[in-house]
Amino acid sequence: MQCKKIKTAHGIIETPALLPVSAASYGVWDLWIEKKFPAPWDLAQGTVLSLYHILQYRKKEEILEKGIHKVLKTKKPVVIDSGGFQFMKKNAELEEEFVLGYQERSGCDIGMTFDYPILPDLSPEEKENRMKKSIYNSNLALKLKKNKKMLLYSAVHGHNPEDIKKYIKNLDDGFDGYAVGSLVPKKRDYNMLINVISAAKNEKPLHVFGITGFPALFALSYMGVETFDSWTYLVAAAFKEYIDPETLKRLRLRRVKELPECECPICRDYGLNDFLQSTSEAEILLALHNLSIFLEEMKNVREKIRENELESYILKKGEKNLSIKKAFMIARKYKGS
Ligand SMILES: [Zn+2]
């Protein structure tokens, strides 16, 4: 296996890469835009924003007028996801023409088609219907796309390899990549997750939505997935949870007396008491610690791929975190078969 490069209008994303989700309607967002703290989109190789969050944000018009990069004050790649998953939870939907139009005008580097994710308890008819509508949107976006600088990824859904393969077969040729969703309820079912991802993997870049932890991150990197998005760094911080740099598990700060050693730039200047305050600043500092652990591990993964030592690296991490080992053993079995 090898690291790859995804070329975007705002530079290269070296893979595998974790792109943090920046949730526009979340309280801490403005402090980042005002550059009061280092922003997730500048610390990582790029960021993912959901149209669901953007449309609730007071700067949604400004993004169209000035472009998303000017509003975020960044020169790094920006991905705009259609927000299909969040709209599904609200029982709402958007027209693909609108989604694509917004993505193209915002000047984002990668746009993702509007999708209708599927949940495990849907009836077979409803599942089929939702998948058909998602495929229709993808093919429509491919036809209507005018902005040549923007890469277009088609969302892909399915809970088993057969559905995933059928889905991709129904997509027209010409997408720059694929983005697999509907895995949220399955995230701890590593067998299913890895089975679905191996069916979706082809020569085009593959993105996986909504990764929550290191077991899936390591196993899917090993499977050759190019990019992931995650907002666990932020959600964990909101719950006052600190990612342990050693075990890569989430620690509840209210239950610990002392923090483990951490060499990240935040922990050099701040400690337990700073993180425990109930202010936006405390939440941002904790989120930045969490993010720096995610990004450091992804950097290690790329380095170990280059040195051909990824497998032993993951197994070593698995000694302190059994879920990492469990997910990896499943991935290794699939890859070998
Ligand atoms: Zn730290």
Determine the distance separating the centroid of ligand 1 and the alpha carbon of 171, expressed in angstroms.
43
Q: Is the pLDDT of residue 182 over 90?
A: no
Determine the distance separating the centroid of ligand 1 and the alpha carbon of 298, expressed in angstroms.
15
Q: Are 82 and 113 in contact (CB under 8 A)?
A: yes
Does 311 reside within a domain? no
Does 15 reside within a domain? yes
Cα separation, 100 vs 48, whole angstroms: 16
Of 38, 30, 98, 86, the closest CA to residue 59 belongs to 30
Q: Are 293 and 267 in contact (CB under 8 A)?
A: no
Determine the distance separating the centroid of ligand 1 and the alpha carbon of 291, expressed in angstroms.
9
Pull the structure tokens for residue 270: 């701040």
Determine the distance separating the centroid of ligand 1 and the alpha carbon of 260, expressed in angstroms.
9
Q: Are 102 and 83 in contact (CB under 8 A)?
A: no
Of 91, 141, 99, 140, the closest CA to residue 116 belongs to 91
Does 189 reside within a domain? yes
- Prior bond to 40 cis, omega within 30? no
CB atoms within 10 A of CB 149: 11
Cα separation, 253 vs 159, whole angstroms: 35
95 burial class (0-12, 13-18, 19+ CB within 10 angstroms)?
A: exposed
pLDDT for position 214:
96
CB atoms within 10 A of CB 232: 23
Question: How many percent of the chain have pLDDT more than 90?
Answer: 83
14 burial class (0-12, 13-18, 19+ CB within 10 angstroms)?
A: middle
Q: Are 139 and 122 in contact (CB under 8 A)?
A: no
Pull the structure tokens for residue 126: 């409803």
Of 230, 205, 234, the closest CA to residue 298 belongs to 230
Q: Is the pLDDT of residue 186 over 80?
A: no
Q: Quote the number of domains for the chain.
A: 1
Determine the distance separating the centroid of ligand 1 and the alpha carbon of 216, expressed in angstroms.
22
Query: Looking at residue 224, which CATH number applies to its domain?
Result: 3.20.20.105
Domain housing 223:
5-239
Determine the distance separating the centroid of ligand 1 and the alpha carbon of 166, expressed in angstroms.
44
Does 98 reside within a domain? yes
Does 329 reside within a domain? no
pLDDT for position 130:
94
pLDDT in tens, 299-337: 999 999 999 999 999 999 999 999 999 999 999 998 876
Determine the distance separating the centroid of ligand 1 and the alpha carbon of 40, expressed in angstroms.
15
pLDDT for position 119:
86
3-state secondary structure 56-81: CCCCHHHHHHHCHHHHHCCCCCEEEE
26 falls in which pLDDT band (50, 70, 90)? low
Determine the distance separating the centroid of ligand 1 and the alpha carbon of 255, expressed in angstroms.
18
pLDDT for position 181:
85
Q: Is the pLDDT of residue 55 over 70?
A: yes
> Model's pTM, two decimal places?
0.96
Does 126 reside within a domain? yes
pLDDT for position 89:
87
Determine the distance separating the centroid of ligand 1 and the alpha carbon of 331, expressed in angstroms.
29
Determine the distance separating the centroid of ligand 1 and the alpha carbon of 290, expressed in angstroms.
7
CB atoms within 10 A of CB 252: 11
Does 193 reside within a domain? yes
pLDDT in tens, 67-76: 999 999 999 9
Residue 71: partners with Cβ closer than 8 Å, 6 or more residues away:
33, 59, 62, 63
What is the chain's Cα-based Rg?
Answer: 19
pLDDT in tens, 193-243: 999 999 999 999 999 998 889 999 999 999 999 999 999 999 999 999 999
Does 264 reside within a domain? no
Average pLDDT, the chain: 94
